[in-house]
Structure 1
Amino acid sequence: MNYELLCSKVVAITRLTGNFIRKESMNFDPNAIEFKGLNDLVSYVDKHAEIQLVRNLTKLIPDAGFTTEEETEDVKGAVYNWIIDPLDGTTNFIHGIPTYSISVALYEEDKPVIGVVYEINRGEMFYTYKGGEAYLNNKPIRVSSRSVLSDSLLATGFPYHEFDKQAQYMQLFAEMMRRCHGLRRIGSAAVDLAYVACGRFDAFFEYNLNSWDVAAGAYLVQQAGGHVINFGGGDEFMDKREILATNGKVTGEILTTIKSYF
């Protein structure tokens, strides 16, 4: 498998779908939404974007399986499997906040081999592939070199439909805010992870995320020299649905703090 060539084709497909989303954002009606659950929104744009991605990615590897947020396709492949979020940051999109992305990852026998995150409004294409580096618009990227939490800028997400851990999470926020440069909540986990990969954020943490939220972005962080673990320090961040992604230098301080609340 030529991963570099395949990744370039995935980038082209992702950009094409991004053009569709950008065009639809110009005249989007905020009333044209559905609720999958409490504060869990979806629009026709998510669904059409996913259909487009699945159709075009299937042409690249006809026997690959898919895990998709909107369940356009949910079939396990024997070797290759795509993990897709067609519009990560739907709530931002619906409210006209210009930070949302497309996330596409390819796994080969349960190991990531391609990761693409496209931040649509800034035209920033983050991508990586097995045997290569991590890139932003064709330029190599690396995680930051900050070594202490007090110098770091962190990203996170807020609970929006499962509130069983809300109390301790808010306590964790309070401590983190006192100990770092700042705590940001952008609204797209894929973008948060891409920003860790290129050194804008020094770390990102969140729980109750799904595989399609983090698969591509986590691989970007790893390929850019960072660490991705769960709140216990293990590698099963997708199965555990909790993620800590760092530049590798502030992992210890942040993980110790997280463990004191979780």
Structure 2
Amino acid sequence: MPELIQTDADLLAETVTAVRDAGTVLRERFGDVVRHRTRAELMRALAVNDDAALEVLRPRLASLRPDAGFVEDELAGGALPPGEWWVLDPAEGNVNHLHALPEWAVTATLVRDNQPVLTAVHVPLTGETYTALAGGGAHLDGRPLRVSDTADLGLSLVATSQARPDEDEEVVRRVGSSITAMLLGALVVRTSVPATLHLLNVAAGRIDAFWQFAGARADLLPGALLVAEAGGRISDAEGRPWTTESASFLAAAPGVHGEAVTTLSR
């Protein structure tokens, strides 16, 4: 029986190896656009990618934490039962992968009693690996990350993402009005999927704020921990404490967080 990892820092190092190896599998599958004529064909293609990465991730992570559960549905939300859970997105930005677009990644986050304690996000096409450990900071390939020091939303590059296909109409309309508000208030607005890659950029200080309405654990928890450990502020769009049960999400540099809340609340 393998020896159990004793510290979260050691566990994070092993998690990094797992997401990198899963990323290699997906990189080897990347190339031509995967054609589909129906929603069923698209869903099958997405599942094949997920399964290929999970064949690497699941046994590796299970061996590290045999008693931890797994959450593999990247669209699932809400609170988790007590204990430890691996929240995985084996192909974050999977639809981009199938369309031969470069914005996709592999993520693994350990949640303990509904608090993320570590995360590893690997971007196979750049070779970059982003990590965060609760209380231990956020890093890109070992280099510390820090959010931007921007203090004016009017000078800010901000971003948002579509939480899921076939979103509720009320949420879609709220997304649209929030983009309009940010187009009036910020310097530049980026709109694309997946959420995690925007949040990596917030943590790295490349963009100043990211928001999303609705959402799921798998696309927000990794970036939430990265941004928080890089000195950013995490809340819902109204400025209240964010949890996985919140209806909105905001991650921002401290200097623009208040303005972002005001803008999104209009």
Q: 2:29 aligns with which of 8, 20, 24?
A: 24
The secondary structure found in structure 2 opposite 1:154 is strand
The CA RMSD measured in Å over matched residues stands at 2.5
Task: Give the Å deviation of 1:129.
Answer: 1.1
Q: Secondary structure at the match of 1:135?
A: strand
More strand by percentage: 1
TM-score after normalising by structure 1? 0.89
Instruction: Name the amino acid aligned to 1:90.
Output: N
In structure 2, how many angstroms separate the alpha carbons of the residues matched to 1:32 and 1:128? 40
- Which of 14, 39, 42 in structure 1 is aligned with 2:46? 42
Whichever residue aligns with residue 169 of structure 1, its letter is V
Residues 82-91 or 20-29, more deviating: 20-29
205, 216, 219: which is aligned to 1:213?
219
* Residue 167 of structure 1: aligned partner: 173
Change (3 A) 1:253 1:105: same
Query: Does 2:93 correspond to 1:89?
Result: yes
1:61-114 deviations in Å (ceiling 9; x for gaps): 10011111269xxxx775311111111111211111111011211112222110
Structure 2: gaps spanning 5 or more residues: 1-5
Amino acid at match of 1:206: Q
Structure 1 residue runs without a partner (length 5+):
none
Paired with 2:215 and 2:82, the residues of 1 have a C-alpha distance of 25
* AA in 1 matched with 2:123: E
Structure-2-length-normalised TM-score: 0.88
Alignment correspondent of 1:147: 151
Shift of residue 148, structure 1, vs aligned partner: 0.9
- Measured in 2, the distance between the counterparts of 1:40 and 1:187 equals 20
1:12 pairs with 3, 9, 17, which one?
17
Residue identity over aligned pairs, in percent, reads: 27
Counterparts in 2 of 1:87-236, with a 5 A limit? 87-158=91-162, 160-162=165-167, 163-236=169-242
Alignment partners' CA distance in 1, 2:212 and 2:44: 17
- Offset of residue 48 of structure 1: 2.1
Give the Cα–Cα distance (whole angstroms) in 2 for the partners of residues 177 and 40 of structure 1: 37
Q: How many pairs does the alignment contain?
A: 255
**Cα shift at 1:257:** 1.5
Contact 2:171 2:213 in 1 (8 A): no
